[in-house]
Structure 1
C-alpha cells in the first residue's frame, strides 16, 4: 500500500460509486428514507444556538424564546403530522431534554420512534473539548439515555455536527454502533477506529436540512418542500443503479411553524405516497441491515 497522504484522516478509503456492488434494502427496495427530528434544548443567557435575529448585547430573549417554542408547540405539531402520515421518526435528542421538557421524549417513545444520541445540549460543541472533556460529555449523555430509555441508543449526531479528531473512537468505545456526523456518501460507510472495531457512518443530509436551507440560505417554506420532493424523485430514479439512503433533517422551531408546516406536509405526503417503492425506516434499522450484508 502506498503511504497515506498527509491530508487524509484515515477513517475510510476512497470508493467510487460505480465500482461498488449493488444490493437491495429490506423488502427488495433500493432507496431507504428516514426523517430525523432534532429535539434540542438550549441554555438561557449563554452558549450556542441557531438565531432568528442577531444576538443582542443583553439577555437573548428573542432567540431563546424562538427555539423554546419548538419544544413547547412545534414538536407536537410535527408529531401529529407524523401520526397523520404513519411516518416513522428518528428523534435526535439532547439528553437535557429529559429534564427540561418532561413528557416530550416519552411521547415519541410511545410511537416506537428511535432515540438517537445528540449530546447534552445544542448550546455546546463537543469538538471544542479536550479528550477527557469530550469523553465526559458523551458518558453523561449516555447515562441519561440508559436511565430513561433502558439502553444506549444505537447512534449519535454531535451537537452542531461538531467533532474532535477522536470523536469516532470515543463513540465506539462508549458502545455506539453508528454516527451521523460525516455526510460524505449516499450509502453507509464503515469507519476505522483506534480499537480496531470500527463504527458505521450513516448518511445524514446537510442539504435537505431546514437549518442551513431556511436560516442560512433564507429559502422559503415552499422552496424547502420543493427541494425535498426533487431530492426524493431523483434519488428514487437513480436507485435503480445504486442503493441509496435519503434523510430529511428537521427542527421543530423551524418547520413546526404553521406557515412552513403546511409546505412540509405536502413534501412528506409525496414521500409516503411512494412507500410501496421505498424502505421508509430509521437510521438504526439501516445500520443493522447494512451490517448484515
Structure 2
C-alpha cells in the first residue's frame, strides 16, 4: 500500500522505520508537527519523525493545523491507501480522515478501551497496572474510540518509569503496526468495535499532577515518581524551592518517619509518607543538574526534623 505516516516524537520513529523497511508498503510522505524551539538557544528544530524522513528521502508535510487547505490538497494529491499514525499530536478533521481509502490507523499505547487519551503509559504506571500494551485502531472523530485491529501486551515491571515502558512499547508496537498494515492490505484483518465497558481516560499530566503528596502511601508516591519520569517530572518543595524527584524506591523497613520528614544516613536519604518511607536515590535541585540524593543531602546539611513539601514554592 501507499502510506502517509503521521507522527512527531522519538517514540514514533521505530514504527516509521518498520514501515520504511517493509517490502509490502511504500511510505511516500510523513505528516508531523511544525519545527519547534529547542535547547538553550531556542532554535527551531525538526521533529524526530521529520529528521528520520529526511534521512530516508521522504517528503515531509508540516501543517500548522491539519485542517489547513494547502495540506488537505496535498494529501488528496498523494492519494494514500492508508495513513498509519503514532503520537502525531493534533486532532484530525473529517476532511483529512476521508482522504485515504483505508482510513487512518493509530498505534495507541494501551489496551483499549483502557486509557484513552494523550498519556496512557503515564496513567497505567500511576494506577499500578501490572499489564498494559498497545493497540492499533481505526481513527474516527471520537477520542481513541474506533474499532481495534490488533493488540499486544506488555508487563509493567515494578521499577518501570513511563520512559522505560514507553520505549519497550514503541519497539513492540512498531511490529504490530506493520502487521496491521499487512492485514489491511490482504484483507485478512477486520477491525472489531471496542467494548462499552472498561473505558478509562488518560489526559495529559500537568505540573500539579506531578507534585508528590507525602501524606499518600509509599506505593502511591513511588508510582507518581515513576509515572512522571521523564516528563513532566515528579517534584516536591524543600526550603521554599522546587526539588525534582528522579528516582526513589519504597523502603518498607522504615516506618518511623512522619509524612515528608527526612532522615539522612551516610549513603541514604529517606522521606516519610502516609505509610512507610521511600528512599530518595536521585534528585535535581532547582537550577542544578541531577545528582545522587545522598550528595544533595550532604550539600544542603539537612537538620533533624526537616521535611519535604512543607511550604509552597516562593
Q: TM-score of the superposition, structure 1-length normalised?
A: 0.29
Structure with a larger share of its residues in helix: 1
Which structure is higher in RCO with an 8 Å CA cutoff and minimum separation 6? 1
Structure with more strand by fraction: 2
